[in-house]
Structure formats: structure tokens, C-alpha cells
Amino acid sequence: MPIIWQMPDGSLQVTRLAQTPVPGPGETVSDAVMRLARVVQAKTPSLAGGIPTLVTTAGIPTSRLHRNKWRLQGTVVVPDLTLPDPPHPKQARMDEINSATTVADLKRILVDAVRNGF
């Protein structure tokens, strides 16, 4: 049973349990999963501040193409295609190359790239 974590910035993270936890006395399976989710959250810094929601596997898109745009609507995950795409991880370096006007500028960029990785 997947757990969707709605993060403070609106993004989602997905946790899938390897096995369905065994419910304790007076607990449903959903209660047991949420109990385990709290344990996982306490041990995982990236989940701090996230709000867990149980969803079915069918409630998660099969395509991960727009995963950065996934949003939670009730207990279903849908892509919000109105959100902008995130910037390319190397966008700052590409902008620096495009704005270079002299060979000296390009040489400085190239030396920096060799030293520190592109």
C-alpha cells in the first residue's frame, strides 16, 4: 500500500512498503500502515514536515514523465500540467556559456569545468 507524502512545498514523495504490516490489537491494516509511516518519517529527514496519505496503487500514475508535477487530489495522484518545468540542473553553466563574448570568457569557463566538473 503506497504512502504519499505531501511536502510543505506541494511536491509529493512516495513510500512503498515491502510488506503489509500486521495490525495490532484493535488496529486496521490502514492504521498499522500509518503507524509504520510515522516510524519511517522519524528516521527519514527528507520526509520531515510531510503529511502522509494512503493511496491505492491504481491511484498513482503509471507514467513518471511528469512526476515533478504530481499533486494529491483526495486519495488520487494527478499531474498538474500547469506547473512549470524545473530548470535544467546545469542551466547556470549553460547561461554562462551563452553569455560569453570573448575567447578569454570561454577559456575561464572551460578551465572551471575541467577543475570542478561541468
pLDDT tens sequence across 26-77 = 999 999 999 999 999 999 999 999 999 999 999 999 999 999 999 999 999 9
Assign 85 a pLDDT band (cuts: 50, 70, 90). Answer: confident
**Using CA atoms, how far apart are residues 31 and 52, in angstroms rounded to an integer?**
12
> What is the CA angle 87-92-95, rounded to 5?
105
Cell of residue 44, nine digits: 527519514
Residue 89 is predicted with a pLDDT of: 80
Question: Can you give the pLDDT at residue 22?
Answer: 87
Q: What is the CA radius of gyration of the chain?
A: 21
Name the percent of the chain lying above pLDDT 90: 69
Residue ranges of alpha helices (H) inside the chain are 29-43, 91-99, 103-116
Is 1's pLDDT higher than 80? no
Average pLDDT, the chain: 91
Q: What is the pTM of this model?
A: 0.70
Number of helical H runs and strand E runs in the chain: 3, 5
